[in-house]
Amino acid sequence: MAALIGKARPVVGLTASVHGSRIAWWANRLALRRAGASAVRITAEQTYPIDRLDALVVGGGDDIDATLYGESVNPQIRIDPERDHLEMRALDCAAKLGLPVLGICRGSQMINVHRGGSLHMDIHAIYEEAPHMRTVLPRKRIRIEPDSRLYSILGIAECRVNALHHQSVDRLGDGLRVVARERAGIVQGIEASAEPFLIGVQWHPEYLLTDSRQQGLFRTLVDTALGHPPAYEPLPDAVQAAD
């Protein structure tokens, strides 16, 4: 982890596609700035030394190359192999350095693939009853495991999140556990309990800027980078739900 002495703000790297959404970049940058960090955008053409970062956010975007988890590539699906390789290397480095890592949407899937897991390439082929939903508004209800770090950060058992994905975690990677699902069973959150902060969420908290619970993901990431992770204690079973 980069030395923080004398730094005004920790530096958090955000991975993205070369031609990725600038809206997503600005939303993440704002969320991280409000959490007390400076963000640097990392792409296959705009690299940055991972060992100079204090934390890493693996962002959303194109699908992941299926050959990375032993499946055949669907020619109808847009992939970005250069970004895949960038993020696999970044996660290798982050693991060696002990950097806190947050995966968002594709980023959550990449954490799983990096640890040897696999993906459902089309959730609607597996979860036929799942609603077809693509919106930045919080319309999808999920349930969070009460003994998880994600639970302790959000402080709630159920909440509504946004949904822009058509793939999801299938076989779990090494050391990961599922900590959130939607009603249809689709995985919405994963984490590594043995790590100070390695969490993947299938939704986009960067777009939920007015939701203080969701912004807590960025605050906790930054606090962990600063060496001040919050005390983690499983919350009791009797908890509230958010509309």
Active-site hit among 87, 105, 114, 120: 105
Task: Exactly one of 124, 195, 206, 233 is catalytic; name it.
Answer: 206
Question: Which residue(s) pair with 187 in the sheet?
Answer: 181
Cross-strand partners of 39: 12
Instruction: Determine whether 105 is an active site residue.
Output: yes
**Pair 206, 28: CB distance under 8 Å:** yes
As a whole number of angstroms, the distance between CA 38 and CA 100 comes to 15
165 has catalytic annotation:
no
Which of the residues 87, 132, 204, 228 is marked catalytic?
204
Kindly write down the DSSP assignment for every residue of 57-89, as one continuous string: EE---SBPPGGGGT----TTS-B-HHHHHHHHH
Q: What residue type is 220 in one-letter code? A: T
Told to judge if 87 belongs to the known catalytic residues of this protein, a careful annotator would answer no
Residues classed as catalytic: 105, 204, 206
